[in-house]
């Protein structure tokens, strides 16, 4: 079993660290955020992910996982150091590599024995070469350091399951030594390993994510056309899904993709292409369609209502998808300020995301409107003039069409996730607008 250090305890780093411990490795998770480290030391997960806290507590009891801000001690004698820090989007669309650079510097200052540095973060092609050079330039001790790429494919909301049951592990290495260490680290997972060179591994991550983003934008584009020509996107998607070349996943039309990955990874690949004098037309189209899609329902509602001023607006779902507390690039973050600027009185519900959202939009008077966070969906709907659905949480899907009719002052629903059948909403008497389907009026 290996002595592993993980830099960064976000969705990727913490889940990887905990899963490495789960299969028997000795893991130290490092984060610069002291508050986060203290939370984890107390056995509490700083992020919402099904099953994560249980595995943290189990492996803590077994003495296989530790948390610290002291990177020197953690990196000093590690066999492998996995980097899982953020690579956020910069204003020009490129990936911000400053967190990666800081960790590289910290590694160079700390390692006292031969060590494999593994970049799990999503980084532009060629970054691993630079990280390796950077570490070697700043190394203090005379040790062997090599960098490998091991991009992560987990989806938030099912991160632990995805890690333990990954469809493939991609390892990108430049030597047999590195390939063997990574293969041995992953051996206890019993998962398919695809071994390629570092640059191909880096590209596999972007190519995969951007392909999925493209699939979503394509379906959204077709959905918008369906509305214009009188077709139903759900029937269309069903018909398409029987073709194995297309597959049945990622065919749901909706209010666009969000989260910490698809938006930034599409922009980063587009930027990377431009840097090489190439125009990545397909990915650019995916970005453009998504941008329009995010405020599509707001625009539809705006043209249906004269104003939102003084209207009670129920907002159901704030996170970018169900199963996570992550708000990054969520549809709610785009639409709520538009509604507030119009003077809306928003009653917002989310089973786990309200606390994070209230840090961005504090409760009470906000811009030209107000926002109140409620812990009960019915409270949000009670007396509402209009309702927006931004996230398909199970709790929200469980609200029957009849409840909208009974609770709302005017049963007018804009559903960005197509969670109801048109027929059910029609029968209940709800005016229902969704994506790529005929409205009920
Ligand atoms: P995150 O923002 O949730 O977490 C990053 C963590 O790194 C934070 O806790 C931060 O405090 C810590 N950190 C920053 N500098 C540090 C340092 N010098 N030493 C130790 N810790 C430090 O990020 P994330 O969502 O886990 O994403 C990390 C990377 O993985 C990104 O490149 C992302 O694109 C990629 N990725 C993310 C997902 C996902 O679903 N979130 C999936 C696949 C890949």
Is 396 contained in some domain? yes
Tell me, what's the pLDDT at 153? 97
Domain-ending residue, one of 265, 292, 319 = 292
Is 440 contained in some domain? no
Is 439 contained in some domain? no
Output the domain CATH number for residue 113: 3.40.50.720
- Would you say 201 and 168 are in contact if contact means Cβ atoms under 8 Å apart? no
Mean pLDDT of 20-49: 97
Same domain for 156 and 240, yes or no, is no
Residue 63: count other Cβ atoms within 10 Å of its Cβ: 9
Same domain for 102 and 218, yes or no, is no
Is 101 contained in some domain? yes
pLDDT at 171 over 90: yes
Query: Average model confidence (pLDDT) for the chain?
Result: 97
Helices then strands, each counted (H, E), the chain: 19, 15
Q: Which H or E element spans position 347?
A: strand 345-349
Tell me, what's the pLDDT at 300? 96
Same domain for 345 and 245, yes or no, is no
Candidate of 32, 85, 135 to mutate for ligand 1, largest count of ligand atoms within 8 Å of Cβ: 85
- Would you say 316 and 331 are in contact if contact means Cβ atoms under 8 Å apart? no
Tens digit of each residue's pLDDT (9 = 90 or more) over 211-245: 999 999 999 999 999 999 999 999 999 999 999 99
pLDDT > 90: what percent of the chain?
Answer: 99
In this structure, which residue's CA is closest to atom 25 in ligand 1? Answer: 11
Question: Is 261 part of the annotated catalytic residue set?
Answer: yes
Same domain for 30 and 172, yes or no, is yes
Tell me, what's the pLDDT at 275? 97
177 pLDDT band, cuts 50/70/90, is very high
Candidate of 6, 7, 13, 213 to mutate for ligand 1, largest count of ligand atoms within 8 Å of Cβ: 13
441 pLDDT band, cuts 50/70/90, is confident
- Ligand 1 near 32 CB (within 6 A): yes
Domain-ending residue, one of 292, 310, 334 = 292
Same domain for 183 and 55, yes or no, is yes
Alpha helical stretches, state H, 230-245: 233-241
> Would you call 338 helix, strand, or coil by DSSP?
helix
Output the domain CATH number for residue 236: 1.10.1040.10
- Ligand 1 near 156 CB (within 6 A): yes
- Claim: this prediction has a pTM higher than 0.90: yes
Q: Rounded to whole angstroms, how far apart are CA atoms 230 and 399?
A: 27
Alpha helical stretches, state H, 295-384: 296-304, 331-341, 354-360, 377-381
Tens digit of each residue's pLDDT (9 = 90 or more) over 334-344: 999 999 999 99
Tell me, what's the pLDDT at 373? 98
pLDDT > 70: what percent of the chain?
Answer: 100
Tens digit of each residue's pLDDT (9 = 90 or more) over 234-291: 999 999 999 999 999 999 999 999 998 999 999 999 999 999 999 999 999 999 999 9
Name residues whose C-beta falls within 8 Å of residue 153's C-beta, 6 or more positions apart in sequence.
Answer: 162, 166, 167, 168, 170, 205, 208
Same domain for 303 and 417, yes or no, is yes
Same domain for 80 and 173, yes or no, is yes
Q: Rounded to whole angstroms, how far apart are CA atoms 104 and 133?
A: 10
Q: Which H or E element spans position 179?
A: helix 176-186
For β-strands 369-374 and 364-366, DSSP reports them as: antiparallel
Angle between helices 262-275 and 198-229 (to 10 degrees): 110
Same domain for 150 and 254, yes or no, is no
Is 441 contained in some domain? no
Same domain for 168 and 22, yes or no, is yes
Place of tokens 């090489």: 276
Q: What angle do CA 105, 110, 111 make, to 5 degrees?
A: 110
Is 310 contained in some domain? yes
Domain-ending residue, one of 151, 172, 196 = 196
Q: Rounded to whole angstroms, how far apart are CA atoms 197 and 236?
A: 40
The residue segments making up the domain with residue 330 are 295-433
Tell me, what's the pLDDT at 274? 97
Domain total of the chain: 3
User: Is 77 a known ligand-binding residue?
Assistant: no
- Would you say 308 and 343 are in contact if contact means Cβ atoms under 8 Å apart? yes
Mean pLDDT of 125-147: 97
Same domain for 14 and 128, yes or no, is yes
Same domain for 112 and 138, yes or no, is yes
Same domain for 262 and 321, yes or no, is no
Residue 90, sorted as left (phi over 0), alpha (psi -120 to 50) or beta, turns out to be beta
pLDDT at 51 over 80: yes
Is 420 contained in some domain? yes
Is 438 contained in some domain? no
Mean pLDDT of 365-384: 97
- Ligand 1 near 87 CB (within 6 A): yes
Tens digit of each residue's pLDDT (9 = 90 or more) over 289-334: 999 999 999 999 999 998 999 999 999 999 999 999 999 999 999 9
């Amino acid at each position: 079993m290996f002595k592993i250090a993980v830099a960064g305890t976000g969705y990727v780093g913490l889940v990887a660290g905990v899963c490495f411990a789960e299969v028997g490795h000795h893991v130290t998770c490092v984060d610069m955020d002291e508050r986060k480290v203290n939370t984890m030391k107390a056995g509490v997960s700083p992020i919402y992910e099904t099953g994560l806290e249980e595995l943290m507590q189990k492996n803590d009891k077994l003495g296989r996982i530790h948390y610290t801000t002291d990177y020197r001690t953690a990196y000093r004698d590690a066999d492998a150091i996995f980097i899982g820090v953020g690579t956020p989007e910069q204003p020009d669309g490129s990936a911000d590599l400053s967190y990666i650079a800081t960790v590289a510097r910290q590694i160079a200052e700390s390692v006292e024995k031969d060590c494999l540095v593994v970049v799990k973060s999503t980084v532009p092609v060629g970054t691993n070469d630079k990280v390796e050079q950077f570490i070697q330039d700043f190394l203090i001790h005379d040790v062997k350091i090599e960098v490998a790429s091991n991009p992560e494919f987990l989806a938030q909301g099912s991160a632990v399951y995805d890690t333990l049951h990954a469809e493939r592990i991609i390892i990108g290495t430049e030597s047999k030594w590195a390939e063997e260490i990574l293969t041995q680290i992953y051996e206890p997972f019993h998962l398919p390993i695809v071994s390629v060179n570092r640059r191909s591994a880096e590209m596999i991550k972007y190519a995969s994510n951007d392909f999925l983003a493209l699939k979503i934008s394509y379906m959204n584009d077709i959905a918008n056309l369906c509305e214009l020509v009188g077709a139903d996107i759900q029937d269309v998607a069903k018909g398409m899904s029987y073709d194995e070349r297309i597959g049945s996943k990622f065919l749901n039309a909706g209010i666009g993709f969000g989260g910490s990955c698809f938006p930034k990874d599409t922009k980063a690949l587009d930027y990377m292409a431009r840097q090489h004098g190439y125009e990545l037309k397909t990915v650019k189209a995916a970005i453009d369609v998504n941008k329009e899609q995010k405020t599509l329902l707001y625009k539809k509602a705006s043209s249906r209502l004269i104003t939102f001023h003084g209207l009670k607006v129920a907002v159901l779902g704030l996170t970018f998808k169900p199963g996570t507390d992550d708000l990054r690039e969520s549809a709610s973050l785009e639409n709520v300020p538009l509604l507030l600027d119009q003077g809306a009185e928003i009653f917002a519900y989310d089973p786990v995301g309200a606390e994070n959202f209230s840090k961005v939009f504090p409760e009470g008077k906000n811009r030209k409107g107000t926002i109140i966070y409620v812990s009960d969906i019915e409270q949000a709907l009670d007396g509402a003039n209009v309702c927006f659905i931004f996230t398909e949480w199970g709790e929200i899907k469980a609200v029957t069409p009849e409840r909208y009719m009974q609770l709302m002052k005017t049963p007018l629903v804009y559903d960005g996730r197509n969670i109801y059948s048109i027929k059910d909403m029609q029968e209940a008497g709800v005016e229902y607008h969704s994506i790529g389907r005929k409205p009920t009026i």
